[in-house]
Amino acid sequence: MRATQDILEIWRKFNDFPMETITKGWYSQISLGDKQRSVELMKQHREQYGTSGNCFDLSIWLIDEFRKNKLNCYAIFTPHSHVAVVVINEEGNKYLCDLGDQWIEPILIDRQHEAYTEQFLDGFFPGTQIRLKVLLDHLVVTYKRPNGKHSKQRFDLTPISDNELLAAGEKTQRKLSTPLVEKRLFLENQVAHWEFDNYKSFTSYQTGREKEVQLDSIEEWANRISRMSGINEEVVLKSLQVYLEKEGKHVN
The model's pLDDT over 39-87, given as tens digits with 9 standing for 90+, comes to 999 999 999 999 999 999 999 999 999 999 999 999 999 999 899 999 9
Give one DSSP letter per residue of 95-162, joined into a string: EEE-TTTT-SS-EE--TTSTT---S-EEEEETTEEEEEEE-SSEEEEEEE-TTS-EEEEEEEEEEEPH
Query: What DSSP element (H or E) covers 48?
Result: helix 39-49
The type of residue at 237 is: L
Is residue 252 one of the residues assigned to a domain? no
Using the Cα atoms of residue 49, residue 213, residue 127 and residue 135 in order, give the sign of their dihedral.
negative
pLDDT band of 147, cuts 50, 70, 90: confident
25 contacts 244 by C-beta, under 8 angstroms? no
Give the 3-state secondary structure of residue 174: coil
76 is in which domain, residue-wise? 5-247
Is residue 66 one of the residues assigned to a domain? yes
Is residue 207 one of the residues assigned to a domain? yes
* Predicted model pTM: 0.95
Is residue 171 one of the residues assigned to a domain? yes
Q: How many domains does the chain have?
A: 1
Query: What DSSP element (H or E) covers 222?
Result: helix 218-229
| Interval 148-200: pLDDT, tens | 899 999 999 999 999 999 999 999 999 999 999 999 999 999 999 999 999 99
Give one DSSP letter per residue of 64-99, joined into a string: HHHHHTT-EEEEEE-TTS-EEEEEE-TTS-EEEE-T
The type of residue at 192 is: A
Give the 3-state secondary structure of residue 61: helix
Looking up residue 35, the CATH number of its domain turns out to be 3.30.2140.20
Is residue 72 one of the residues assigned to a domain? yes
Is residue 68 one of the residues assigned to a domain? yes
Is residue 174 one of the residues assigned to a domain? yes
Give the 3-state secondary structure of residue 220: helix
